[in-house]
Amino acid sequence: FSRALKPAALAVQNGAKNFSTTSQRNFKVVVAGAAGGIGQPLALLLKQNPLVTRLALYDIAPVTPGVAADLSHMNTPAKVSGHKGPEELSAAIKDADVVVIPAGVPRKPGMTRDDLFNTNASIVRDIALSIAQNAPKAIVAIITNPVNSTVPIASEVLKKAGVYDPNRVLGVTTLDVVRAATFVGEINGVDPTSVAVPVIGGHSGITIIPILSQCQPALKLSDPAKIKALTERIQEAGTEVVKAKAGGGSATLSMAYAGARLTASVLRGLKGESNVVECAYVKSSLTEATYFASPVVLGKSGVEKVLGYGTLNEFEQQLLKAALPELAKNIKTGEDFAKK
C-alpha cells in the first residue's frame, strides 16, 4: 500500500488554482443526458463558465430543444444548441472538446448502483461510439452509474475504434470529494470550501475510500468509532439522498455542482493552466485494480499525471484491501459487456 507518490490532500482543494500560461479559451462542451435531473442544472452551471463558447445539449427526451432554448436566453458567451434523439447525436458530439455524460437511469430506494448496469451500459456504449466517430480527441467525463463499470465500457469502445487515450476518459467522483469536505467542514466548524479530503478507489459503497488522515485542515476527530462512522457516511451518502427522495431519483443538484467543478478543472487544464488537480476514476497502475480513483493532474490533453494517494493509516489500508476485489469485479463486468 505504499506505491504512492506523494500526499495529495493539499492539492485537491477545489482543483488547486494557478496562473494561466495561454492559449485556447473557447471550448465546445457537450452534455449527453442534458434534459435530466443532473443534466439541466449542470447545463445551467456550464452556461456560466466563460471558457465554454459552445454548449451542446443532447438527450432523447422531447423537452431537449426547449431546455436549449431556455438556456440560450442567458446573456453569457456560450452558444447553446439542442439535439434530440439518436439521429441528432453525431451533430451534438461533432468536434467536442469535452463530453460530460449523465445520461441514464438513477437509483430508487433498495437498489444498488450495479442494478443500473443493464440499462445504462448500452447508453454509455452508444454515446462512446459516437465520440469515437465524431470527436475522438474529446475528454470524456462519465457521471452515469455504475461509474466503476461504465468507464471501462467507454474505454473498451474507444479502444475497439482505435482512438483510445486513457488520459481522456474520466469517471466523475467529484461528488464524493465534495461530500467529504462538507461533512468534515461541519465537524470541524469551518467553511467547507476551505477543506480538502482526497477520496480514492471507486464510486460505490465500499469502493469509496475517503483518506481522512490526509484531511486539510486536520479532521478534529480522534475516536476511531467516529472516524469509522464518518467514513461510512461518505460511502453511503448517495444512498442517503436516494432514501430522502423516496423514489424520486438520486442526487442531482449536488452532482451538477460537482460535475461543473470537474468540467471547469478539465477546461482549465486544456487551456494550459498548471497544477490543476482533481480526484477522478481513471486508468491506473497504482493498485491491482486497472481503473482507480485518485488525485490526478489535469493538463492540455486531459490527465497529465496520475498522482499517488500518499501514506494510508491502518484503517485506510483495510478499506483499500476490501475495495480492490469489488473494483476488479465491477471493471470486469464493464469490459466483458463492451467486448461482447
Per the annotation, does 143 bind a ligand? Answer: yes
Per the annotation, does 261 bind a ligand? Answer: no
Q: Which residue is nearest to ligand LMR (CB)?
A: 238
| Nearest-approach distance from CB 78 to ligand NAD, in angstroms | 20
Q: How far apart are CA 161 and CA 248, in angstroms?
A: 37
Calculate ∠ Cα 203-338-42, nearest 5°: 45
276-283 and 291-299 strand pairing: antiparallel
- Say if CB 80 and CB 30 are below 8 A apart: no
- Say if CB 251 and CB 222 are below 8 A apart: no
Q: How far apart are CA 27 and CA 78, in angstroms?
A: 9
Per the annotation, does 3 bind a ligand? Answer: no
Report the greatest alpha carbon distance in the chain.
57
Stretch that binds ligand LMR, among 56-64, 87-95, 238-246, 261-269 (CB under 6 A): 238-246
Within 10 A of 87 (CB to CB), how many other CB atoms are there?
Answer: 8
> What does R_g of the chain's alpha carbons equal in angstroms?
19
| Nearest-approach distance from CB 147 to ligand NAD, in angstroms | 5
Q: What are phi and psi of 271, to 5 degrees?
A: -80, 0
Contact flag: residue 250 with ligand LMR (CB under 6 A)? yes
Contact flag: residue 208 with ligand NAD (CB under 6 A)? no
- Say if CB 296 and CB 305 are below 8 A apart: yes
CA 244 to chain centre: 22
CB-based contacts of 340, cutoff 8 Å, min separation 6: none
Nine-digit cell at 299? 493538463
Which residues are catalytic, by number? Answer: 203
Residues that bind ligand NAD (rule: CB under 6 A) add up to a total of 32
Q: How far apart are CA 95 and CA 29, in angstroms?
A: 9
Binding mask 110-139 for ligand NAD (x = CB under 6 A): ------x---x--x----------------
Report the residue from 242, 270, 319, 320 that binds ligand LMR according to the rule CB under 6 A. Answer: 242
Report the residue from 16, 128, 141, 147 that binds ligand NAD according to the rule CB under 6 A. Answer: 147
Contact flag: residue 302 with ligand LMR (CB under 6 A)? no
**Termini Cα distance of the chain:** 34
Per the annotation, does 205 bind a ligand? Answer: no
Binding mask 25-64 for ligand NAD (x = CB under 6 A): -------xx-xxxxx------------------xxxx---
Identity (one letter) of the amino acid at 135? A
Contact flag: residue 81 with ligand NAD (CB under 6 A)? no
Contact flag: residue 289 with ligand LMR (CB under 6 A)? no
Q: How far apart are CA 76 and CA 48, in angstroms?
A: 6
Contact flag: residue 175 with ligand LMR (CB under 6 A)? yes
Per the annotation, does 207 bind a ligand? Answer: no
Residue 59 touches which member of ligand NAD, ligand LMR, none, C-beta under 5-8 Å by kind: ligand NAD
| Nearest-approach distance from CB 238 to ligand LMR, in angstroms | 2
Contact flag: residue 238 with ligand LMR (CB under 6 A)? yes
- Which residues contact ligand LMR by CB under 6 A? 106-107, 113, 145, 175, 238-239, 241-242, 250-251
- Which residues contact ligand NAD by CB under 6 A? 32-33, 35-39, 58-61, 102-107, 116, 120, 123, 143-145, 147, 172, 175, 203, 249-252, 255
